[in-house]
Amino acid sequence: MTALPRSKILERILAIIVGAVFIYAGFLKARDPVHFASDISNYQMVPWSVGVRFAFYLPWLELVCGFALVLHRFFSGALAITIALLLAFLGATAWARIHGIDVSCGCFGSAGTNLTLAWHLAILAGLLLASIYLWCTRERVRFA
């Protein structure tokens, strides 16, 4: 068995951290999709009928991507979706702020109510930076 080089160990640890956060966030939101639908609706970007459908789908997408990152399977695909989701979350928060809409992020379901918006943004930005680093250093992709 060959040992992983140090840079690869760092990448694995980062992938596990990002994946674990996505699993945690996805699990919290999947437990209460109607509450998450309200969080989406508060952003006033999409009508309720669209937001509620997102609310039932996005948590599972986060869970699937989180597990893929932790288990290092379908890695590039999971990473691409993760980066897209993080950009969407950051963009939505910025959009709400620009339009003067007073929202709580909703990123971590009911557990996120103890976090200020600044903390939410810091966590999202940290995850995005880690994901971009993983994207730049990832190996060539095979299907699985």
Partner 1 sequence: MGRVLVRQVLFLLGLAFLPAIGQALYYRGTASWQQRPVDSAAVSVEEAKNWGGAVLWVDARAEEPFAKAHVPGALRLDEDGWDTLLPSVLAAWSPERKVVVYCSRETCNASHAVAERLRHEVQLKNIYVLQGGWEEWENKK
Residues that bind partner 1 (CB under 8 A): 30, 33-34, 37-38, 41-42, 44, 48-49, 52-53, 56-57, 59-61, 63-65, 68, 74, 76-78, 80-81, 101-104, 113-114, 116, 140-143
Q: Which is nearer to partner 1, 3 or 102 (CB)?
A: 102
**Block residue for tokens 């699990």:** 27
Which residue, 9 or 84, is less far from partner 1 as judged by CB?
Answer: 84
CB closer to partner 1 out of 17 and 30: 30
Minimum CB–partner distance for residue 41 and partner 1 (Å): 6
Supply the minimum distance, in Å, between the C-beta of residue 9 and partner 1: 24
d(CA 17, CA 70): 8
Q: Between the CA of residue 83 and those of 23, 33, 41, 127, what are the distances in Å?
A: 15, 22, 22, 9
Going through 85-144 in order, the beta strands assigned E by DSSP cover none
Q: Which is nearer to partner 1, 9 or 24 (CB)?
A: 24
